[in-house]
Amino acid sequence: MKTNKACAVMVFVQLIYAGMALFSKAAISKGMNPYVFVVLRQALAFLALSPFAYFFESNKYAPMSYGLLCKIFAVSFVGLTLSLNIYCTAINYTSATLAAATTNTIPAMTFVIAVCLRMESISMRRLHGIAKVMGSVVGVAGALVFAFLRGPPVKFLASNHHGHPADHGLASSSSSSSNGVHWVKGTLLMLSSNALFSLWLILQGPIVKQYPSKLRLTALQCFFSCVQSAFWAVTVERSPAAWKLGWDFNLLSVVYCGVIVTGITYWLQLWAVEKKGPVFTAMFTPLTLVVTAVFSALIWKEILYWGRLGGAALLVSGLYCTLWGKISEDKHCPDTAAAPTTAEAQPKEETTGVEAV
């Protein structure tokens, strides 16, 4: 029953993640400024987490120094402000399906960055080391295939569809060529956003050791990200009309991403990590891609192509290969498993309980 309950919780979490990509894409496609979207979302995330941080961790001792505050401010700027703003810009050029697909590259990117920073070791003489390297290579290759190789459409899904403008890839007409350029640009931006988020995940370890109050740390990073994003948004968008929210879909999207994604999934995923471990939660990540692809095809009439399905298969294969390598390493070499390369498989805002944004 405990295993079934954990599985049900993680399936629900992945459905929320899929909704995050769909709501973000819909709101920005309807004309909402992506930078304003990030500001409002982070503001609601801070307001949603602050009461929990106050009531649940008011008695927890967590010393704060000026140097540590500067570190948190800098980490928030790199991993949240830059990552989320680039993400929302990228999703305007591509699709929610691509956003969900490239999320599967986060474990591979985290592993590569950790190796470059000498926070992760590679043992090519052992099978688990080869699996981690091959999983990283296959995952990144899958992301590139998904982005740049279209192939023939999936007929049973494309018969009544005319396709989403951004999903027509690299066609021959001038309009399709322009869309293709936007798609490539959006893909590169999305991968850059994931790379920044992976770096942020790695930097969470040292920060948490100095400031173990996870809820307060998360709320504080949301606050810093909101302030930083506000300066960014005011610089880019100076029209007061862009900041107005009515009782419409844009408000629903902001509330969903700022409150539901940050608040609900934070507790659910933290519970799952405590019960079953971070690897268990990471294994459900591909479900977000499946759900997002299905709803994108139904709602926006996006056409699925065999080339991109192949890329998605490579992405998922690379993810599980990396996870298997990490599991095997933890079993056989528990003292050498250093960097967080398994728990970071979740989409950009929520993974191990520290990074619920």
Measure CA of the first residue to CA of the last residue in the chain; give whole Å. 30
Residue 72 pLDDT: 93
What SS3 class is residue 350? Answer: coil
Residue range 285-293: mean pLDDT, rounded? 82
Lowest mean pLDDT among 70-74, 75-79, 139-143: 139-143
d(CA 35, CA 196): 17
Contact 351, 343 (CB under 8 A): yes
- E strand or H helix at 22, and its extent? helix 2-29
More confident residue, 154 or 232: 232
d(CA 188, CA 167): 15
Residue range 57-72: mean pLDDT, rounded? 84
Q: Which residues pair with 305 in a beta bridge?
A: 153
What are the CA-CA distances from residue 327 to residues 6, 17, 19, 346 (Å)?
A: 19, 24, 29, 17
d(CA 139, CA 349): 20
Residue 315 pLDDT: 83
What SS3 class is residue 47? Answer: helix
pLDDT band at 192 (very low <50, low <70, confident <90, very high): very high
Lowest mean pLDDT among 86-95, 112-121, 187-196: 112-121
What are the CA-CA distances from residue 132 to residues 56, 115, 140, 273, 332 (Å)?
A: 38, 11, 12, 21, 14
What SS3 class is residue 305? Answer: strand
Residue 189 pLDDT: 92
Degrees (nearest 5) of the Cα angle 83, 24, 146? 70
> pLDDT tens digits for 305-333?
888 788 888 888 888 888 788 777 767 66
Contact 282, 13 (CB under 8 A): no
Q: Does 106 score more than 90 pLDDT?
A: no
Lowest mean pLDDT among 57-66, 221-230, 253-262, 331-340: 331-340
Q: Does 286 score more than 70 pLDDT?
A: yes
> pLDDT tens digits for 242-256?
888 878 888 899 999
Of the candidates 32, 44, 28, 23, the residue with the CA atom closest to the CA atom of residue 244: 32
Residue 229, classified by CB atoms within 10 Å of its CB into exposed (0-12), middle (13-18) or buried (19+), is buried
Query: What DSSP character marks residue 304?
Result: P
Residue 40 pLDDT: 92
Q: What is the token pair recorded at 113?
A: 């960055």
Of the candidates 145, 136, 235, 237, the residue with the CA atom closest to the CA atom of residue 187: 145
Q: Does 82 score more than 90 pLDDT?
A: yes
Residue 38 pLDDT: 92
> In the chain, how long is the greatest CA-to-CA distance?
64
Q: What angle in degrees, to the nearest 10, is found between the helix axes of 265-276 and 2-29?
A: 150
Q: What angle in degrees, to the nearest 10, is found between the helix axes of 83-93 and 2-29?
A: 70
DSSP codes of every residue in 162-202:
---GGGG-S-SSHHHHHHHHHHHHHHHHHHHHHHHHHHHHH
- pTM of this structure: 0.78
Q: Does 337 score more than 90 pLDDT?
A: no
